[in-house]
Amino acid sequence: MLEVAAAPFAYAFDPATTALVVIDMQRDFIEPGGFGDALGNDVRRLAAIVPTVRELIAWCRGRGIRVLHTREGHRPDLADCPPAKRRRGAPRLRIGDVGPMGRILVDGEPGNNIVPELRPQGSEPVIVKPGKGAFWATPLETILREAGVTHLLLAGVTTEVCVQTTMREANDRGYDCLLIEDATESYFPEFKQATLEMIRAQGGIVGWTAPFAALCRAR
């Protein structure tokens, strides 16, 4: 067992029954010309965590911790994209529209790919999810259960949307979850901070948080 100096208290896990879930580190959210940019956001905030996420992935691979990746993406016919989701907001480009990296948030388009620096290895599952959470309408839970996973490390974007939704879904399914604070980010710094506080409130109502350096010191 390893123990991390986390908040609100120490987080203990066995690498053999732990998985890292890297959420939506895809070009559509992180690079100019994607959906995040079309919404009017400064994507540089999200791009800044790529080096830390890369180090986290390498740390987990080196310790035999399973690594899984997710991408938020829809079928080309958008049959799995509720009209309300596509209508929401006032972006320059909506889901399914053609942008500089192909059709926005459509599976198989260049913009839907994970950024090259975090390219999955051949054995690492990539979960394509039509919603914010990684468990809904995906095989993620089956993959984790069959592998005997009980603990999850989480990273990715954005903190308050897809990351937090996935963490809450996992918590309801009985997983003990640790969010790596500097391996996640939001377009809005105040949203990230509020999410971290919500997660670890009331004795860890959703889970734990810790910086990557604390994970590296786990003993």
Active site residues per annotation: 24, 129, 162
Q: Is beta strand 126-129 parallel, antiparallel or unpaired with respect to 151-157?
A: unpaired
Q: How far apart are CA 90 and CA 92, in angstroms?
A: 7
Q: How far apart are CA 96 and CA 108, in angstroms?
A: 12
Q: How far apart are CA 66 and CA 153, in angstroms?
A: 10
